[in-house]
Structure 1
């Protein structure tokens, strides 16, 4: 790892951060390199740095673009805490939130119909931890309205959340909130879009891993 190449953020990174170094920080990739799938997302008003997997990232203020690691393959340096499938899934409802989960990473079974029956959702790709998990999963494109399994990872709170309309679900803007969640290393979305299938192209080559 080259310490001169900067990364800003945790789980959600500024779009001028090193992808490969961020992947090591996120636990999606080992230092030996490999394939990761990157999804561009909206910019945030602030980014929180942290130290994980031997990589230290930086804090930053408002930035116009971000990225997350989307539907990545199994990390090459997994930890036991990143293996939520060792425990049975939580039987969720359309109103279940990340606050209701005991573990920092949990497999949640969502029922059908949460597009209509789910409670409010705040954010895009990174959601407040009092948002409906199952309705957020439909918004994120990780789940269809028929329900299914999603993997939820609790993350640090953000100073602001940006709402949007995707996949028939409208989420809301919000200011500072102490806790968040993202969908972590989930299986292939049940309602995929061609724009979310970068593996149809050859992976890019990067010099830093």
Structure 2
């Protein structure tokens, strides 16, 4: 450094500028241990996310009644709902939860957040009920550490075409998840049906933008296959508008992938000529 100068005599080339994130979601660090009766009202939400641990055998809790599948009203028991969704085994485990923020159009009109109705479902050991007219926010989750979760997760699915739909993903059963990597500005490409939970023929990257998981520059999102829904409800969030649609035998949610999940993602296989 030159004498009497506060500036170096050569440019800094060692450290690139950090890449700005494409969303305003912040990953929670603290873990909250739940009881089988805990609902979304008991969660210490960090923004609109929470990392939680469920005990074993919440399907045996007689006081817990789960509502909905894939997306649940805030008053629905967390751990039992996750068992119904098949994202959590009966032995319990750790999950990342996302609380659905009020849709902008609903806020403007003074309508409650969440879905107009919730579709019930079942797994091999637990069931949930359907409900209509439940006011308030909603939640959904995906596993981050369970006994049946593979140490190495599948490679990310790189989306080449904004019109690519959820039903093209390699997700065979309910509860399966994969990380997608979206290009930017996919809003308006193809079809988008649903709010918080989307139809199989919806454009996955457009859905991720609508759910505010990624921004217009693209990015990564965790996609989880869910049980079928009786109906999909459209909404407007900013410039992203989805439509109503009849039910289907599968549905999909999108969420922010955590750093530990990204670290366990397998590298794509290389092909040699």
From 109, 114, 123, the counterpart of 2:181:
109
Q: Please give the alpha-carbon distance, in whole angstroms, between the structure 2 residues aligned to 1:73 and 1:168.
A: 31
The structure whose Rg is larger is 2
Q: Does the residue aligned with 2:179 lie in a helix, a strand or coil?
A: strand
Q: Does 1:60 align with 2:119?
A: no
Question: How far apart are residue 85 of structure 1 and its match?
Answer: 3.5
Q: Which structure exhibits the higher relative contact order, with contacts defined as CA atoms closer than 8 Å and separated by 6 or more residues?
A: 1
Q: Please give the alpha-carbon distance, in whole angstroms, between the structure 2 residues aligned to 1:144 and 1:85.
A: 24
CA spacing shift, 1:185–1:148, aligned 2, 3 Å? closer
Q: Please give the alpha-carbon distance, in whole angstroms, between the structure 1 residues aligned to 2:239 and 2:160.
A: 21
From 203, 215, 234, the counterpart of 1:144:
215
From 142, 150, 155, the counterpart of 1:87:
155
CA spacing shift, 1:166–1:179, aligned 2, 3 Å? same
Question: How far apart are residue 119 of structure 1 and its match?
Answer: 1.6
CA spacing shift, 1:176–1:106, aligned 2, 3 Å? same
Q: How does 1:1-209 map to 2 (within 5 A)?
A: 1=58, 2-23=61-82, 25-26=84-85, 27=87, 37-40=97-100, 42-51=114-123, 56-65=126-135, 67-69=138-140, 74-80=144-150, 85-104=153-172, 105-116=177-188, 118-184=189-255, 186-187=257-258
TM-score, length of structure 2 as denominator length: 0.56
Q: Please give the alpha-carbon distance, in whole angstroms, between the structure 2 residues aligned to 1:158 and 1:32.
A: 25
Structure 1 contact 115–135 (Cα < 8 Å) conserved: yes
1:129-180 CA-partner distances (Å, limit 9, x unpaired): 1111001100101111111222212222211111111142111112223331
CA spacing shift, 1:167–1:187, aligned 2, 3 Å? farther
| Structure 2: gaps of 5 or more residues | 1-57, 101-112, 260-273
- Which deviates the most, 90-99 or 179-188? 179-188
Q: Does the residue aligned with 2:231 lie in a helix, a strand or coil?
A: coil
TM-score, length of structure 1 as denominator length: 0.71
Q: Please give the alpha-carbon distance, in whole angstroms, between the structure 2 residues aligned to 1:34 and 1:102.
A: 24
CA RMSD of superposed structures (Å): 3.0
Structure 2 contact 120–128 (Cα < 8 Å) conserved: yes
Moved over 3 A (4+): 23-38, 75-78
